[in-house]
Structure 1
């Protein structure tokens, strides 16, 4: 299953470099039906993708650019957006001419194989690798294999609420996600279950420590400050603070039976940090049931797959 990875994961591998080295090696890959990766340098006026090759050029005709282009279920923006990025493909022909070598390529064929042999076999709860490709206010679009897209809704990104997916992710980021549901062949993902329970996250902190956080919400009764993607604490109200700012906070208490973290704000300043590296508690296998809440709390926050 790990054979079919998001685009870009295979590009720098020794195997990929070998097959792109010469016309003869590329012909070997074509004979073996292998999927390779290259750098798309242009989308022509006809919406054909041009791929850079060391010994010539590759051409992905428009209808071979992605699943759904031929029948109109995928828009041409899916092709334009691949320019200056890695694309996967199978080699369907190699043409020699006075102008040099032109390899005819099919990204659609690579995606169809990925769909048949990998995507169609996924089940709810499967934990899979993904790559962030596009961020919208409602969620993050990700590549789950050979450029095939899926969506992580914003409320499934983390337990700690965020204003926009770019608070957590950036384009091109390699992440993990879990299959939440499958409807009419479309796969929807979730992410928060991989980021740990309340207890797992709280164990990373101790009362008396001063740590960094991000202001996520300012309410009349207090200020919610994220310490980790799945853990937030509450500080007393304070003037001049707004969501999105960074803070240094003193941890006054961690209370498992109420799933609360009491904080005291030490300082607040503008948040100029790039989204931090994600600490995964789960990055493989299959989930059947995940419970965020503590046994002492009496609350139930559960995801069932």
Structure 2
């Protein structure tokens, strides 16, 4: 009799030690078996739990020994099994987590699953969320598909459980990260040093380069020694470049950069090659009210003042010249230190005439060959 009482007490203790479960409960269990049709989960109950493949989360990698959440669909089916759902548990837990993250502004990890109208869809614990294109990054994202499959840390910008709407922002994370990097980088940067960077944006006046947390500007004139009309002639967005740090304004956070190599300055030693009185050939690259700029070699330009275009009166440079014209000119002044050169087209006419007289018998050269038709009105 005592043995029977002892056995009953023992069974009662065992029963009391086992957890009680009910429909709609959310449990945590350990996977003990995985096959194509179902997984078996130890939930610390008298029976193991079964999750059919239709109740699994798509794309989830299930492995023996992993802990997962499980929603109780039926605590006791006809065969005595506990029927569970992983995807329902993940959705419920996910909504709770996201609400908590929204209220406390916690950083939350999500995975981008597809490109949708106006942005991308992302998933957190089987909860579908939306990241607008404007909140995907601190800068404009042209190709949203480049984010497919990526895991991102985000902030919950908007949350409405009833409407099943969750709006996320990766931009908020990046802004904070970049600000931290910017502070550190501004402390480290020194004028004159070389840095690696990536071209992020092209504007008419230059190219912006990300140095790893802070952007600097390469002005149009500092992209190359030769004349550049638009940054796209030299660089493209996404290019990796090596730049010189030209100047730093720590108050405004502005950084000036140079892409062209200092040791390749075409003006270095220019006075050794060009002297006052030399006859040179060049291309008209820019017209101003006061004269025309002529490139005589890559990166070396001279100015033909309005009064030096012709011996005849010229009201404005465009009356006699146009960009792209090939001309001859005489050097009036060379200032290597300040990278300036003065030229005269009208003085070249006399020199060209002398050369013409010397070679016309041999080559049949005419003034038209030397200057074209652009000055025909002035040389009548």
TM-score by length of 1: 0.51
- Residue 148, structure 1, aligned to residue 127, structure 2: yes
The counterpart of 1:243, out of the listed 223, 232, 237, is 237
Say if 1:159 and 1:192, in contact at 8 Å, map to a contact too: yes
The counterpart of 1:129, out of the listed 105, 108, 111, is 108
CA shift, 1:110, in A, is 0.8
Secondary structure, counterpart of 2:233 in structure 1: coil
Within 5 A, what are the aligned runs for 1:1-305? 33-36=26-29, 50-51=38-39, 59-60=51-52, 62=54, 64-65=55-56, 79=58, 82=59, 84=61, 88-90=68-70, 92=72, 104-115=83-94, 117-123=96-102, 126-134=105-113, 136=115, 138-144=118-124, 146-164=125-143, 171-173=149-151, 175-183=152-160, 184-195=163-174, 196=176, 200-205=180-185, 206-208=189-191, 209-228=193-212, 231-236=214-219, 237=231, 239-265=233-259
Say if 2:108 and 2:153, in contact at 8 Å, map to a contact too: yes
CA shift, 1:261, in A, is 2.5
CA shift, 1:121, in A, is 4.4
- How many residues get paired? 213
Q: Following the alignment from structure 2 to structure 1, what is the Cα–Cα distance between the partners of residues 112 and 196?
A: 28
Q: Following the alignment from structure 1 to structure 2, what is the Cα–Cα distance between the partners of residues 178 and 164?
A: 22
- Higher relative helix content: 2
Larger radius of gyration: 2
Q: Following the alignment from structure 2 to structure 1, what is the Cα–Cα distance between the partners of residues 135 and 71?
A: 38
Instruction: State the Cα deviation string for residues 258-299 of structure 1 (Å, max 9, x = none).
Output: 4433222379xxxxxxxxxxxxxxxxxxxxxxxxxxxxxxxx
Distance 1:262 1:198, change over 3 A: farther
Q: Following the alignment from structure 1 to structure 2, what is the Cα–Cα distance between the partners of residues 163 and 29?
A: 54
Structural RMSD (CA): 4.6
Q: Following the alignment from structure 2 to structure 1, what is the Cα–Cα distance between the partners of residues 121 and 106?
A: 16
Q: Following the alignment from structure 2 to structure 1, what is the Cα–Cα distance between the partners of residues 88 and 244?
A: 55
Secondary structure, counterpart of 1:118 in structure 2: helix
CA shift, 1:51, in A, is 4.7
TM-score by length of 2: 0.43
CA shift, 1:106, in A, is 0.7
Q: Following the alignment from structure 1 to structure 2, what is the Cα–Cα distance between the partners of residues 165 and 38?
A: 36
Distance 1:135 1:197, change over 3 A: same
Secondary structure, counterpart of 1:155 in structure 2: helix
Structure 2: state its 5+ residue gaps: 1-17, 43-47, 220-230, 262-380
Q: Following the alignment from structure 2 to structure 1, what is the Cα–Cα distance between the partners of residues 31 and 253?
A: 48
